[in-house]
Structure 1
């Protein structure tokens, strides 16, 4: 069924923080992905690519997706125009006034490149990597989180990684329905249960978890799903293998807080 071996790739840093990013679990998740034979890799909730960009091997075909227009626009600009995007971000400095000005802008009135540069800037400087309700974050123990030279290096590295990747902007269920097949492995990283609006209103509702369990039960391919460990999550996905894993969450200046997540796979 699986015709090609995995191809080595260079891991890449995500270009900006993302609330709910998988930095602490990425190594374990990437190792799990590597052990699952597949010719097609699918990621319906790619976010900033916290798992996708950190993988060390890839199959012959990869397709990533996010329902956020800002995320998809950024990935497309990183792939197609990394030099021009780097030039735009090189003109930016870490400033509360600039942050508030860009936050007030309507991204739909900007060019794709301007929109992508704005998105990177806000995500890099937003306290805790928040997507909604952003506040200007200041480090008092090191250099600013927005350093144009580092942003430019990360953009160019991401561009090389994305050269052969297809990027979609679909609702997660439509994305899976379109691309699911026996040779596919799907990694799902939806919003945490109880935090559905953290990525924007109307992007993902709590009712979607029940629907997700139904979709996963009917897949042709394989899947790995990561979520926060909640009794409701365990009940909704009780038909599958649910394994708990200890991790920690943390915001700048607030320290780390122990937490537990679950990794859900077919039985």
Structure 2
């Protein structure tokens, strides 16, 4: 009949429920299904909708408390020895799945894991004993515009690379020191920190080009807002940041490659110190390192997951597989702690 409205016939699950409430119920069920199946790791919903949809006493609501809206994606601005590009997806999935309000990295390097996590924590601390790394991050945080001006007329030449390589960084201002380090790391072969040589690739453009680099610098500058940058020995850093709600990710030098980051920067004896300290912390930790018998023995008390990955320090060796260990004081799926 013209002008008559078709009456909605509710089903048994939504009978006598207003349309707006029905949509909320259906949304809650979709979120419940995603939480129960783990789909949020690969196809995450907006955390604000998740929090609003779940009942107050639902465990999934508490698990997502520290998760905010997807951050603007930043990425490492230079290669760095030991970068975790090929292992990052697995490591970040474990980190994102485990509840924490504080995130901390004692060996941040160029931030290969820190920057690839899907969500930031409520409070974040990054640390590196390397003065070049520390200065670069601090300058990007506090003096971004002046830093860009200093980089603006740099070009990629082997002569400029060799000249900067001979400069003592201790004689430079913080801005100059950060610019020198960034230039050398982007132009060096394999992201090496010591024994650098000028990298040449026939299939790629100049390694230092501010036109293409500036958007990455801008993204990193924005991402570092609210992040505490420190330069401490790993032991002091862990002791200072350790809380029950802290999650540490550790990427120390590989066993057998301790001197690759500079003479005296990390000795083999310190692996034992690291294992002893981590065995007594209140928070959680996830550590990645090469799979060798000595490391397995030192961390025999912890959960160990061997994984296959590939190293690409040299293009000639790209694709070569290697075995690493993911070591933690919790089960990587996040079910329960070993402590």
The alignment's TM-score, normalised by the length of structure 1, stands at 0.97
Q: Rg bigger for which structure? A: 2
- Tell me, yes or no, if the aligned pair for 1:90 and 1:152 is still in contact at 8 Å: no
Residues 1:223 and 2:294 are matched in the alignment: no
Residues 1:265 and 2:328 are matched in the alignment: yes
Residue pairs, 1:88-103, within 5 angstroms: 88-103=150-165
Q: Unpaired runs of 5+ in structure 2?
A: 1-61, 330-337
Residues 1:254 and 2:320 are matched in the alignment: no
Residue pairs, 1:39-118, within 5 angstroms: 39-118=101-180
Cα distance, 1:59 vs. partner?
1.4
1:171-223 Cα deviation digits (max 9, x unpaired) = 00000011101010000000001001111111111111111110011000000
State the secondary structure of the residue aligned to 1:246. strand
Report the number of matched residues.
Answer: 267
Cα distance in structure 2, aligned partners of 1:65 and 1:4: 25
The alignment's C-alpha RMSD in Å is: 1.4
State the secondary structure of the residue aligned to 2:259. coil
Cα distance, 1:2 vs. partner?
7.6
1:93-130 Cα deviation digits (max 9, x unpaired) = 11100000000001111111110010000000111000
For residue 192 of structure 1, the aligned residue among 254, 257, 277 is 254
The 1:252/1:94 distance shift into structure 2, 3 A limit, reads farther
Residue of structure 2 equivalent to 1:201: 263
Cα distance, 1:11 vs. partner?
2.5
Would you tell me which structure has more strand in proportion to its own residues? 1
Residue of structure 2 equivalent to 1:133: 195
For residue 210 of structure 1, the aligned residue among 240, 259, 272 is 272
Q: Which runs of 4+ in 1 moved over 2 A?
A: 1-5
Residue pairs, 1:236-251, within 5 angstroms: 236-251=298-313
Cα distance in structure 1, aligned partners of 2:107 and 2:187: 22
Residue of structure 2 equivalent to 1:149: 211
Q: Unpaired runs of 5+ in structure 1?
A: none
Cα distance, 1:88 vs. partner?
1.6
Cα distance, 1:13 vs. partner?
1.4
The 1:30/1:3 distance shift into structure 2, 3 A limit, reads closer
- Tell me, yes or no, if the aligned pair for 1:45 and 1:190 is still in contact at 8 Å: yes
Residues 1:5 and 2:66 are matched in the alignment: yes
Higher RCO by CA contacts (8 Å cutoff, separation 6 or greater): 1
